[in-house]
Amino acid sequence: MNFKELLSLKYVNKFTIALFIFVLWVLFIDNNSWLFQKKLNKEIKKYEERKAFYQDEIKKQKQELKDLQDEKKLEKYAREKLLMKKKGEDLYIIEKKAD
């Protein structure tokens, strides 16, 4: 069955052919096609996940900054995280072996 025979069928007319071409155009060919929109929606979801992650990190950093306003907590942070010490103190670092 070739193309001319398909066109000669009673149920196929110029409107159904135009509709078929339009659907193909909208789904696959156009710049705003369904495939392109699907790709963009994936990117949007990825960026929204990143945004949520960074917003959580910002909240943690703000809380840590608020905690560091206290002098005792600031000293504890400096000793534990930055390995700082006072004059005349000896610093010993004990590392646990991973089994």
- Average pLDDT of the residues in 1-5: 65
pLDDT of the residue at 34:
84
Helices (H), the chain: 3-8, 14-24, 34-67, 71-81
pLDDT of the residue at 1:
60
d(CA 49, CA 57): 12
Average pLDDT, the chain: 85
Q: pTM for the complete prediction? A: 0.55
